[in-house]
Structure 1
Amino acid sequence: MTETTGGSKRAARHATWMRNSAMFYLGQRAASEAHFRQVMLRKAARRIGEELDEAEIACLLDETVAYCRANGFLNDDDYAEARSAAGARRGLSRRRVGMMLDAKGIDREQIGRALEDFDDLAAAVRLTKKRRIGAWRRDDGQPGEVDTQREIAILARAGFPFEIAGKAVRMSLEEAEEVLFGPAEG
């Protein structure tokens, strides 16, 4: 066996490992391309960093990313849409979801497209329900101005604009349910 044959077998083995590792990772969780690259570079440095130099690892990673993108395993647009929808369901503000996507390496244009239909008011109402404030307040009495200001501050710290926070806190239960579930039938 010559040195080149042994080297090509080793390169093929590393490429197979990288692809299998990528499939396992992406099978467990969705990832943006930038975040996926960071994770795979760390894994490759631990696993094959002594056998290959950085340029060879980068080349293997580029091939793996191209394979994953071509087969639909990596798609930043789909990832941004899914994270945006999940953030809205959790009661996160548009601003906070945008910052989370930015931290994952999604470019600003894709973030803008993902947040195009984001309803900040509905997300704020979801957070009031989750935190049991506003229309879902535990006590039956009328809130004082201090309570209202405290609840608006909770929403403002969560990243909601002041106007939306005030509107969400001051809604009646019927209005809040209409925002979340649509108009009542009948």
Structure 2
Amino acid sequence: MDEKNSIARNTAAKDRKSAGGKQSGPKPVTPERLGKIALHYLERYASSAENLRRVLMRRVLRSAQLHGTDSQALADSVDDLIQRYQSSGLLDDTAYALGRSASLHRQGKSTRAIQQTLSVKGVDGDTVGVALEALREEVGPDLDLRAAVQYARRRRLGPWRRDGREEAREKDLAALGRQGFGYDIARHVIGAETPQQLEDELDTSVEEPQN
């Protein structure tokens, strides 16, 4: 009986809260609120200008649907915010591309995968090219080989396998292919006799003078 009374009280409390409490869901978007949303997002994530624009426009369109706010006026506010942040340096697509490409490379991503990721975030091709060239100057010209070795090491593919290596060869090649690596690089990495062979090759490429 006590359990039934407790359930009834909880249900009644929820009903009262629903009837007299605050409405749930996002608040109407205003220009001031857009600025707060943008700064909060940039505090948590690195972003390109276009990516931030998309984030804010999703909020604008949702507010228009739920609250009837003026989506065109708010879109103009988004444009103003983006321009202001670019002028102040808070948004910098080149810096974003440099940092993101370096991070993706350390994760073992191919140059193709890096290009696709940055493109999806709205970074233009010229800026992506600048970022990849800077990465080559930093780590060496063999970006894909170095990234493929990193990926194979993390996933224990090819020479990092303890057993069943020959049986898994095609599977390992396909794994590198799905990451955007060309067949020649995939075959070279998976076919290496030992991990040390690949490590020595990468060390040698770093020691060679760059023109």
TM above 0.5: yes
Displacement of 1:47 in angstroms is 4.2
Aligned residue number for residue 182 of structure 2: 161
Q: 2 CA distance for matches of 1:92 and 1:128?
A: 11
Within-5 A mapping of 1:142-181: 143-144=165-166, 146-171=167-192, 172-178=194-200
Displacement of 1:36 in angstroms is 0.8
User: What TM-score comes out, normalization by structure 2 length?
Assistant: 0.71
Aligned residue number for residue 124 of structure 1: 148
Structure number with greater CO (CA < 8 Å, separation at least 6) is: 1
Deviations 1:112-158 (A, max 9, x none): 2222235000100011101101221122x7x43x4333322221122
> What percent of counterpart residues are identical?
32
Q: 1 CA distance for matches of 2:58 and 2:169?
A: 48
Task: Give the aligned CA root-mean-square deviation in angstroms.
Answer: 2.3
Displacement of 1:16 in angstroms is 2.5
Q: 1 CA distance for matches of 2:35 and 2:127?
A: 26
Aligned residue number for residue 35 of structure 1: 51
Select 2:93's aligned residue among 72, 76, 79: 76
Whether the 8 Å CA contact 1:122–1:179 is kept in 2: the answer is no
Aligned residue number for residue 104 of structure 1: 121
Moved more, 127-136 or 51-60: 51-60
Deviations 1:47-70 (A, max 9, x none): 477464232112211111122112
User: What TM-score comes out, normalization by structure 1 length?
Assistant: 0.79
- Aligned: 1:21 with 2:48: no
Q: Any stretches of 5+ residues in structure 1 without a counterpart?
A: 1-12
Aligned residue number for residue 109 of structure 2: 92
AA aligned opposite 2:44: Q
Aligned residue number for residue 8 of structure 1: none
Select 1:137's aligned residue among 161, 169, 173: 161
Aligned residue number for residue 11 of structure 2: none
Q: 1 CA distance for matches of 2:172 and 2:61?
A: 48
